[in-house]
Structure 1
């Protein structure tokens, strides 16, 4: 097979099209796919059939700020981060602390809770998505909604350490 030299010059221009930015996918779908385990009150859990908790309400607020709907998917620990890494889910909001090991695998939002320092992992290499997510988080922090959620759900509770 003979390849045209002109075609070879076009390949670098085509490669960005092969890997669309995550924010474009989210906006095209009109939804933010949020994965969690739904087994750790008060962060995220089921009350009957209803998903609820601090991180569920935070995810709803972030999606609203990003002008998309929230879509929650419950899974187990084995699928949680693997699903984010593969693109099956957009983000994991599941009381995940930013560690050096995880930072090699994922990009993270700014922290949404400091003790322990919790943040939202998503696929590496998506700067526009990070900017959008961090902007949404900043607005939720700045207008007091994050503090209100923390007071509603986390005051008087013992933080769960998922690093064990």
Structure 2
């Protein structure tokens, strides 16, 4: 079989079609890479060497619903969102409010906390990932796990 040199010119046009959906990457790895700062109790923090907090437990529940394991990566605010944008992390669960500026840069899950409206940002253009993440979040809401987490970590609210 002979390869036509003209086909080589078409290869760059096919690259968007070859772009894998984020959900495929997550399932292939078997893990959800979750970025957080781990310094803002009760949302996420370290208790000794152990990560804990509302958002850590939320991330564990979301990964479980998606049938993958959570992989928490602690970082700082200078790397958190840029890391999601470049694909270094799949999501950031770090009490991030959906602002107009961030909506231009990221897609978001459904809110997990209403006041302020907190949601989980991820790379734009991943509708199957959004669907899977929102479905997992909906299950956690529907069966009372999100309410139990909220009561556990925010008793005074």
TM-score (norm 1): 0.89
Cα distance in 1, alignment partners of residues 11 and 78 from structure 2: 40
1:154–1:87 distance in 2 versus 1, CA, 3 Å: same
Residue 103 of structure 2 corresponds to which residue in structure 1? 103
Cα distance in 1, alignment partners of residues 11 and 84 from structure 2: 31
Deviations 1:116-163 (A, max 9, x none): 110000000000000000000000000000000000001215xxxxxx
Q: Which consecutive unaligned segments of at least 5 residues does structure 1 have?
A: 158-164
1:78–1:9 distance in 2 versus 1, CA, 3 Å: closer
1:57-96 equivalent positions in 2, closer than 5 A: 57-96=57-96
Residue 137 of structure 1 corresponds to which residue in structure 2? 137
Give the C-alpha shift of residue 3 in structure 1: 3.8
Is 1:148 the equivalent of 2:151?
A: no
1:148 partner SS: helix
Residue 17 of structure 2 corresponds to which residue in structure 1? 16
2:55 partner SS: helix
Cα distance in 2, alignment partners of residues 132 and 125 from structure 1: 14
Cα distance in 2, alignment partners of residues 94 and 14 from structure 1: 32
Cα distance in 2, alignment partners of residues 34 and 14 from structure 1: 27
1:27-42 equivalent positions in 2, closer than 5 A: 27-42=27-42
Quote the RMSD (CA, aligned, Å): 1.6
Cα distance in 2, alignment partners of residues 78 and 13 from structure 1: 34
Moved over 6 A (4+): none
Cα distance in 1, alignment partners of residues 124 and 11 from structure 2: 25
- The count of aligned residue pairs is 154
Residue 162 of structure 1 corresponds to which residue in structure 2? none
Residue 26 of structure 2 corresponds to which residue in structure 1? 26
Cα distance in 2, alignment partners of residues 109 and 100 from structure 1: 15
Cα distance in 1, alignment partners of residues 51 and 130 from structure 2: 25
1:34 partner SS: strand
Q: Which consecutive unaligned segments of at least 5 residues does structure 2 have?
A: none
